Every structure is written in C-alpha cells, then in structure tokens.
Amino acid sequence: MKRSLFTGLIFIFSLGIACAGEFLEISPDYMLRFPRDLYYKDGYRLQWWYFTGHLFDPEGREFGYELTFFVVGVQTRAYKSKFGVNNIYISHFALTDVSGKKFYNFEKSDPGAYGFAGAEKKELKVWVDVNELSGTADKMHLRANGAETELDLTIVAGKPVVLHGDNGYSRKSEESSEFASWYFSYTDMQTSGSLKIGNQTFSVNGRSWFDREISSGRMGSSEKGWDWFAIQLNDGRQIMLYLMRKSDGTVDRYSSGTLVYKDGRYRHLSVDDFRITALRHYKSAKTGIIYPAEWKISLPGEGLDLKVTPLLEDQEFVASYSTGNNYWEGTCRVEGRATGRAYVELTGY
C-alpha cells in the first residue's frame, strides 16, 4: 500500500512539471511508422496503451471492460544500478457487469526494478504484474486480473490504423503547440476470449477500441479535464470526440475528433463540426463528485443526432494509489439516427 501511494505521488509530480530539456518534445513534423510506434518509445514523459470494449456471452449477457497501461517518465539519467527509477509502470483494469449491475476496478503500479513491470522497445509487450499486452499490430493478446476477476482476450484489427489530428499530431491546448500528443487508434477490433467474475467464467465475443498516445507536454494551465467519447456504431462507423474543458466553463478550441467510415476512410473533425450537450448529471456515492450522465451528440455534416446513455450509472474508477485521481469511464448505449455502443471517459470533475 505504501509503495503504491509512493508511485501515485511520483505520477502526480511528473505530470505537474514541465521537465524542459529532459524529455523529448512532440513535433508535428514527425511521421508515425508502424509497427515501430506501437512499441515503447524511450525518452518521452508519458505514454499509454488504452483498451475499452463491449463483450457478450452466448446468452447475450453484456459486459464492458477497460484495460490500460501507462508508462510515466520520472527522469532520463542512466543508472548503473537496476534500482534507479526512470519510469513508473501503471495499469488500470475495470469490468462492468451490465446484467449484474456491478462495476469492478483495480489498479497496479511498479517501478520495474525486478522485472515485475516493463515495456519493450522492439516488440509489442507491456506488463504490470500479471496485466499484460502482447502481440502484433494485427493480433493482440490482453490479460488482466483483480480480486475475483480475470480477463483473457484476443483482439484482431478489423480496420487500418487511424491517425488523429494532423497525421497523428494531436494538439490539446490553445496555450502552446507543445501541449500535444501523437495519437492513433484501432477503432474496430474483433474480440474473443473469456472473463471471470467470482466463480463464474464467461466465454465472450465483441468489439474493442485501442488508443495509443505518446506525449511530453501537459494540459494548458486553464484546462481542468476532458470528456472523451469512443463510439462504435452498428452501421460500421466509429467516432472519436474529445472536449478539453477550461476552468471558466468554456471549451478549448483544439478540442476535436475523428469520424471513421465503414470502409476505413476517416476524416478529422474540428470542434465546430460537432456538438455535445450533457442532458443530466449524477453524484457519485463514493467520492461525491458530480459527473454528466447522459449526452446529446450532433454531427450536422453527417446528419447524425445521437443520445449516449450509461448502461450502469456507477462506473467511477477510484485510483487512490496509482495515479491519485478519480475519473468516470464506462460503457454506454447509443441511440438516435444510428445505434451502437460507446465508452466515455470523464476527468477533472
């Protein structure tokens, strides 16, 4: 517990400083290459591999899952001792049992000194304790567990990679072009495997969404958090949208999104191309935080009007000992002119 709290404090510290001159900067001139940029990239302050998905057993019982791997750069100096800390490795794992109306979340963190956590530079492999991502760009394997829960999935890319922003350069703030990331996704991944809750094991199939981001910047000083949407429509389209929220209630003009068509083509969406309106809110019984709990989303240029509703209201991830924050991330129903499922992430509330 003390070790986890310590690593959480390091995470917060590393996110709060500029680290000028120590970590590499994100440049709009960089050309993403695959599979190289799927792997761990040395010299950056923060990077992650982020999976969410919608799963069903043969009887139609529905589950949502989140599995993430963060590598947080603490410093870049070379150590002779293996106990020198350059990175903190963090994994978050959550399961939503829609029919059982239960949300489970678990966190792990480790400095990697004994090999209990790490990330490979020449292959797709990231692990924190038993939570692990491995495989190739075409076929990936996920494993994770928490108290009385397990996940074991194989996911296969159904569409080519999507580069968000300007060919993968995703600026996040009006204040500086350095507040940016390289951001790409596989938005439609066929998924199969098993999950376990208590003494029940379920064979499941469904679809997953995979985000990869690499950054050395921060949020702008006026920004307090973000609302992020990963929408998978039943007609074969996917939509990524995010709003960078400011403390004064406005939205940063570099908020944006991407619309992916059925055939794999995609186009960038500026903040003027879509509208997101919160229709109601709920107050968390765990933290007292008030989150949006239903949304209307409009893309006028595509003739899309959607309503996004959580399948379970309480999907708040309390990360007390790894990242030191609380956020809402959960599986949602999509209705309107198109139907489907979505994952929504809410931070900074």
Q: Which residue has the tokens 């978050």?
A: 92
How many domains, the chain? 1
pLDDT mean over 286-314: 97
Q: What is the mean pLDDT of the chain?
A: 91
What confidence tier does 321 reach under pLDDT thresholds 50, 70, 90? confident
pLDDT mean over 111-129: 95
Q: How far apart are CA 66 and CA 50, in angstroms?
A: 8
CATH number, position 150: 2.40.370.10
Q: How far apart are CA 338 and CA 264, in angstroms?
A: 18
Name every residue whose Cβ is closer than 8 Å to that of residue 114 and which is 6 or more positions away in sequence. Answer: 82
pTM of the model: 0.92
pLDDT for res 176: 83
Range of the domain at 306: 2-346
Q: Tell which residue, 170, 214, 164, 211, has the closest CA to residue 189.
A: 211
Give the β-pairing of 256-260 and 266-270: antiparallel
The number of helices, as runs of H, and strands, as runs of E, in the chain is: 1, 23
- Percent of the chain having pLDDT more than 90? 82
Q: How far apart are CA 260 and CA 319, in angstroms?
A: 32
Three-state helix/strand/coil letters over 291-333 = EEEEEEEEEHHHCEEEEEEECCCCCEEEECCCCCEEEEEEEEE
Q: List for the chain the helix, strand, coil content (%; round to 5).
A: 5, 55, 40
Return the structure tokens found at 36: 């190289």
Q: How far apart are CA 98 and CA 38, in angstroms?
A: 31
Burial class of 111 by CB neighbour count within 10 A (0 to 12, 13 to 18, 19+): buried
Q: How far apart are CA 227 and CA 291, in angstroms?
A: 10
Q: How far apart are CA 248 and CA 236, in angstroms?
A: 37
Q: Which residue has the tokens 């004994």?
A: 114
pLDDT for res 191: 98
Q: Which residue has the tokens 């792990």?
A: 108
**pLDDT at position 327 over 80:** yes
pLDDT for res 305: 98
